[in-house]
Amino acid sequence: MIRRILAACLVFLTLALTAQAQDRTIQDVLQEHAEAIVKSSRTTIGPAIEAVANSGQPSAQTVLQKWQNKDMWQWSENGFFYAATVAGSDVTLTDFDTGETVAIVSKGDVTQLKPNSGIRAMIGAALVQFQLNDPDAERRREALLAIQRDGEASHLAPLRASIENEDNPEIKALKEVTERLLTISFDKDDARRIAAIKGFTSSLSLDARAALNPVLSAKLVYAEDLPETANIKREIKPGSEALSVRDAFALMVSAGAATAQPTISERKSALSEHIVDGKVGGIPVTELISQEARDHAYQALASEGFVAAFDPAFSMEAAVKGVRFAEVYDEPSAAVTDAAQETLHTINRAVGFNQFLDLSLDGLSLASIYFLAAIGLAITFGVMGVINMAHGEFIMMGAYTGYVVQQIIPDYTVSILVAIPMAFALTFAAGVAMERLIIRWLYNRPLETLLATFGVSIALQQIAKNIFGTQARPLTSPGWLDGALVFNDVLAISYIRIAIFVLALVFLGIFLFIMKKTRLGLETRAVTQNPRMAASMGINPDRVNMLTFGLGSGIAGVAGVAIGLYAKVTSEMGTDYIVQSFMTVVVGGVGNIWGTLLGALGIGFLQKGIEWFNPSNTLAAQTYMIIFIIIFIQFRPKGIIALKGRAAGD
Amino acid sequence: MDFLKKYPSLPAFIATLLIFTLAVTFLSEAYGTGAISTSFVKTLGKTLCLALVAISMDLVWGYTGILSLGHFAFFGLGGYMIGMWLMFARTKLIVVESMAAADIPATALEIKDAVGTQIFGVVGSSDFPLVWMFAHSFWAQIALVVLVPGLLALVFGWLAFRSRVTGVYLSILTQAMTLALSLYLFQNDSGLRGNNGLSGLQNLPGLDAVSQDAVSIWFFWASAFALLVTYLIANFVVSGKFGSVIRGIRDDEARVRFLGYSVEGFKLFVFVLTAIIAGIGGALYYPQAGIINPAEIAPIASIYLAVWVAIGGRGRIYGAVIGAGVVSLVSTYFTGGQAPNINLGFYTIKWVDWWQVLLGLSFVLVTLFAPKGIGGLFDLISGRLSPDRKGAPLGPDQGSLREEEAEQ
């Protein structure tokens, strides 16, 4: 109704605007409709609002806003309407046209206009056209977004009218999208709706999906007496996944096509209501321990007319067999639903593709985290062959270092920059100490190394718990790492993940540089391959082992800072990563950093892939991933990249 | 007397176990003076079960050289299997009792549905998952206590040994298996009540009239008996030719293979046997603990198992028993808040907080300086010496004994 009037008024507006604007004030318009305005009834107020909105007066928007906010008062002296501000018992009246204060009167002389919520909504709809044509582009955008969120049929006409005069191309595009969304939801003309629906082909916008899904809403019905005109989505066989036999029968019952049989529990309560002297229908209660006996007793009751009839031979399967059931669209027009279906199909394909990209990004960032956690281990385990079960605790130490530094230095950016070398230094020292005190004595005893370092691991874990408590500590990332890089509604990646990815690459570079280009790397490789020969060449294997182990531990500490930004810092965080880290190194192939990289990528992508099949259950994903790894190791016990020859050690 | 010569530690062990069992019985609340509380009887009974699983760990690690970090998973599986029957049977009794008050007696289906709702209501379900197929039958679940850990060990061991995964790789692989199992059980749709686990296992169905005082002693006896049998089996296994072969595998696997033995077969046999022993230990342990949940199976539990064996002294069966007994009892003492705090003036050492640090460090020290563990003390008494090989290894394999550990 309003829409039609609005449209009519718009036509009228264009014709008569200039003529009217010069010799009329907004007060005249208000006075023309004074009776309706004062009466403030929803049924009669329409023309008044239209008249104000389409008066072409510059103050029309103000009037509507004041009116809507209950700030418009009528002065009883002349019956004019004014904007008013109340201070104590005085009311200051301001003229709409001139903006000047007319008078200050006492409350008794003026009447406040109090439009009810229905009228306020009508005024709000009339205001939309002003917002859509507001000179401030930002306001127009806000109005459009508000319409997208919460559109109404009445918005359609002013929106369409405002598109043509829009000069900002970005907002014009937004207006066109919004117009299509509203058309899909509210237009009465099918051809227009279909055109609007087709406009969203391959669109990724959430709003497009939100607008299309209600068009395609369908419900299951009993289809035997369905009218010819019904827009049937598909026929459904009862007993299929979409419609169970029980539900199908319930549909038949509610359509009046079948009579419901008393259910098992109804029959049972009927039986218990008719117990006479320990007997029901002539059968002793103690014998009612099977369903057959109960049915028998119930039939006896039914034949005496005490309870509703029950047919023991009845089966729901037989009742629903051969009966038509269908899924019927709420939308009557088949052309519209077909177009929507088709468009939704293209949208789903586009969304699926972008979800795949998004999943790949997720997999990549998970792989970066695994790689970060494992790269220290790639040195201590991969290169030196030392099983360090306390590796996870070095990660934890690094994360706690970051936390402590943040307590001292409040600026997050500076504190992270300080924390990284601090964490490296601390865990380097811890690693060197551990190598000198424990691992040195066990170089030929890998199993004992495993157990001894495990002892260190539980001790470190408990010490951390004693110092920092069991509560998770936050390691806050700097502000510039907040938020996410958004490509579209589906594809986004948070900056912190990008940072971790970059950090992983940096570590890879550092590792390669140290191993291939520095003296330490050369000596490490020499000592790993043949310690005695290396010693004969003047290399001190003790010192090299110590430094290498320290380096691996130090990198674990830095990784701890990065992981702490991403996950919570607890004393048990190391245990979350230790098995995965070993897996990464073993799957990749011991002694080769590229193998570790491949292992991390493989495990990261695999885990995300499995999660995609069953998104609600990350535990299951981890379980299946580990099983997959166990099977993988069956076929490539030496990992993806296996060392060959003497370096392999066998 | 060949028998005793063959098993020199046997008389001492049997005597100790017998005296210990009798002493506990006569000091218990049910059959004796009551000097030992029922909860402590349970602790002792549980300790015997841990000694049982430690023996299996010693067989597989100390004798065969496979550092398995998965034996506590087999232990937990055994507990789950018996727990399913206990929980089902007891819930059924309660349900039948509560339904007896109704006007009309319940049908079998109604009882089953009500039991299902009782057990699985906590994970938002009421249907029995497939794994509970045999839960109604005591004997079937007892069979599963043996079969499930045994089959898992068989499949896993066959895969791992066949592809010649050895040493630390095997350790990591077994740890991964344990992690996978515990993560799987943590899910609600695993059918074993997710992280709630199975509870109320201390109440034996149909024995509500018997107090926990008596039940705890019964379980104590059963655990002691099982420990004795396991000890005999373990001694039998490691003493004959079979024992020689598995020790050979521990010290130099390649050489044993070249001598024509099927190394994989021997390893698989030991692995499966010890898994079954662990499963039985779990089936005795968890009714005494009263509750089992997936956290019990976490990889760290299996590492602790290795810790006990190492502290007790690996490569000798009584060492495993001593290690498990000493560590778990001392651990109970310190973590139970009974140990007095030490006031250093500026800081008070609370043992509840610091016990794990002490355990970790003592473990490092034992590994470094006393590879024989506590069992080594008996060598001091009996005057047995270690070989002096001037640092030459006893065997090239990673599980082989160290010079200080071996007997001359």
Supply the ipTM of this predicted assembly. Answer: 0.86
CA B274 from centre of chain: 10
Name the residue among B307, B163, B1 with its Cα closest to residue A457.
B307
Quick check: is B256 in a domain? Answer: yes
Residues in chain A within 8 Å Cβ distance of B402: 445, 448
Show residues of chain B in contact with A633, CB under 8 Å: 163, 165, 169, 173
Please give, rounded to a whole number of angstroms, the shortest distance from the CA of A586 to a CA of chain B: 8
pLDDT of residue B271: 96
- Cα–Cα distances in Å, from B102 out to A268, A458, B97, B111? 11, 55, 10, 12
Q: Which of B369, B368, B403 is nearest to B386 (CA)?
A: B403
Higher pLDDT residue, B150 or A7? B150
Q: CA nearest B106 in A: which residue?
A: A289
Query: Is position B7 within any domain?
Result: no
Q: What is the pLDDT of residue A650?
A: 44
pTM of the model: 0.79
Residue among A291, A459, A629 minimizing CB distance to B357? A459
List chain A residues with CB under 8 Å of B179.
Answer: 579, 622, 626
Q: Which residues of B touch A446 (CB under 8 A)?
A: 167-168, 398
> By C-alpha distance, which of A396, A427, A421 is closest to A409?
A421
Closest Cβ–Cβ partner in B109, B299, B364 for A455 = B364
> Nearest CA of chain B to the CA of A556: how many Å?
19
**Distance in Å, alpha carbon of A627 to nearest chain B alpha carbon:** 7
Q: Are A579 and B176 contacting, i.e. CB atoms less than 8 angstroms apart?
A: yes
Q: Return the pLDDT at B275.
A: 96
Residue A33 tokens read as 């409709």
Sheet of A81-87, strand order: A101-106, A90-94, A81-87, A72-75, A110-112
The Cα angle at residue B206 between residues B204 and B209, in degrees rounded to 5: 90
A634 chain-B contacts, CB cut-off 8 A: 159-160, 162-163
Q: Kindly state the tokens that stand for A564.
A: 């702490």
Residues of B in contact with A630 (CB under 8 A): 156, 159, 173, 176-177, 180
Q: What is the dihedral of CA A24, A27, A33, A37, to 10 degrees?
A: 160
Taking an 8 Å cut-off on Cβ atoms, the answer to whether B176 and A620 are in contact is no
Q: Return the pLDDT at A19.
A: 47
Q: Are A451 and B310 in contact (CB under 8 A)?
A: yes
User: Closest-CA residue in chain A for B171?
Assistant: A447
Rounded (10°) CA dihedral A531, A537, A543, A545: -30
Measured between CA atoms, the residue of chain A closest to residue B403 is: A445
**How does strand A218-222 pair with strand A325-329?**
antiparallel
Do B307 and B72 contact (CB within 8 A), yes or no? no
In this complex, do A447 and B172 lie within 8 Å of one another by their Cβ atoms? no
Most A CBs within 10 A among B57, B68, B183, B401, hence the mutation to make, goes to B183
In a domain, B246, yes or no: yes
Q: With pLDDT > 90 as the criterion, what percentage of chain B qualifies?
A: 40
User: Which residues span the domain enclosing B204?
Assistant: 12-298
**What integer pLDDT is reported at residue A15 of this predicted model?**
52
CA-based torsion, B286, B292, B294, B296: positive or negative:
negative
Q: Which residues of A touch B186 (CB under 8 A)?
A: 619
A623 and B180: CB-CB below 8 Å? Answer: yes
Contact A451 B303 (CB under 8 A): yes
Strands B348-349 and B342-343: antiparallel
* Option in A285, A448, A462 nearest B104 (CB): A285
What the block records as the tokens of B194 is 């997710």
Closest Cβ–Cβ partner in A268, A452, A619 for B187: A619
Q: What is the pLDDT of residue B222?
A: 94
The verdict on residue B289 lying in a domain is yes
Residue B321 lies in a domain: no
DSSP-based three-state secondary structure for B349: strand
| Chain B CB contacts of A286 below 8 Å | 105
DSSP 8-state code for residue A473: B
Distance CA A326, CA A270 (A): 35
Decide if A451 and B173 are in contact by the 8 Å CB cutoff: no
> Cβ contact (<8 Å) for A456 and B306?
no
Chain A residues with CB under 8 Å of B160 CB are: 634
Domain count, chain B: 1
- CB of B162 less than 8 A from some CB of A: yes
Return the structure tokens found at B49: 């079960």
Instruction: Tell me if chain A has a CB within 8 Å of the CB of B97.
Output: no
A465 interaction partners in chain B (CB closer than 8 Å): 353
Pairwise CA distance, residues A618 & B58, whole Å: 35
- B275 within a domain of the structure (yes/no): yes
pLDDT along chain A (650 residues), means of 10: 58 50 71 77 78 76 79 79 80 79 79 79 78 80 80 79 81 83 81 82 77 81 78 80 82 80 79 77 77 80 77 76 82 83 87 87 88 86 82 93 91 89 95 92 84 91 91 84 81 86 89 89 86 89 90 91 86 83 83 86 87 76 82 79 57
What are the strands, taking DSSP E only, across A42-136? Answer: 72-75, 81-87, 90-94, 101-106, 110-112
